[in-house]
Structure 1
Amino acid sequence: MFIRSYLRASTVEQDANRANAALEQFAAEHGHLVASTYTENVSGTEADRPELLRLLKDARKGDVLLVESIDRLSRMEDPDWRTLKAAIDSKGLRIVALDLPTSHLAMRTNQIDEFTSRMLAAINNMMVEMMAAIARKDYQQRRERQAQGIAKAKQGGIYKGRPADQDLHKRVRELLAANFGIRAAARHAKCSTTTVLKIRDQLSRSEVAD
């Protein structure tokens, strides 16, 4: 059984490798080793995730895609999630999440009969869909609460916004100046394509102002 673990954190300030030990321990407890690990810092709402796309490219039928939780795979809008899920299914990958017990049986499918395996796969697929929907809803609710908090702070005159990561901004500006594309710049700077686009737009506005 070839196990591919996927580790993701939303920002460069967060440690994407935080759950690596837990994933390796889980695999060991089921008599397996994590054969390949894919790590990146990018929002779960993004469809363009270089390491996840590389995992899908490398994957073979029957491989296990191991994650800490389904929200590490997706906080996407439904159309983007459908596209990702279709790509996972077309590769024959089996999703296993530490916080989704119904998925754990995929670690020992050779120990159960075909009928039971298919039934469990159907149940797990339903649970994965539910968890993906919950992850998206949680993301939306947090954004709404954040927006409400910012609006209240602005009314009180105390909102200053999150300070920009100057080193990251400098790195992205250098990459853009070297004619790197949006995706390539995001990959080399280890940030999301959304961040690169924002920095690019800021550069454009400053050039117009000059």
Structure 2
Amino acid sequence: MGLLLATGDPRFRDTARAALERAGHDVLAGVAGTALRDDTALAILDAGPGIARCRAIRAGPHPELPIILLTTSGHERIRGLEAGADDCIDPAAGPYELTLRVTAVLRRTHPAVLRDGRIALCPQARSVAVDTVPVQLTPREFDLLEFLLRHPESVFSREQLLAQVWGWDFGDLSTVTVHVKRLRAKLGDQHRLDTVWGRGYAWGAAPSREMRSA
């Protein structure tokens, strides 16, 4: 996930960035005032300027953005939590503990999401987005996409999809064909729903767009 690490301590910034990247995060490291990116999933800020920024974020267009403040002061910790921070940590605790705190906050604030390329599907919220832009799917279109994302590279016949997704032992196979066509149209050039002639459908898996769960 994309993280913003904004701190005036260059030594801590470098070590924390390295630890977070080893944990699989995409880190934008900078100083106070470094702008959020569209894909920022969590911000780590120095408590001094970060408290005011925390209030601004909570009042702005991304009020749910998780925020961790870096502080050695108990007073700043209280002020930060009052301003809406999700957690506070003393930088002296080290980059490993920071990584654990980031994981814990993300677990609380980001339900498990299935990702493939620029597609993100959240089973809990039953939402789908491409490049953070919501895609409106019918309940059955959503179920079909989730099933395929969970089984990349596997080929399913229309009969199998009718049974697995619809829960039907028999029915009009054209129902599957119609839903596949609609999914492709709604996902545009981000879909990888391939027709395997004579066998059925599969969600492909190109090496550059590895299927993952986050």
The answer to whether the superposition gives a TM-score over 0.5 is no
Larger Rg: 2
Structure (1/2) with the larger helix percentage: 1
Question: What TM-score do the two structures reach when normalised by structure 2?
Answer: 0.30
Structure (1/2) with the larger strand percentage: 2
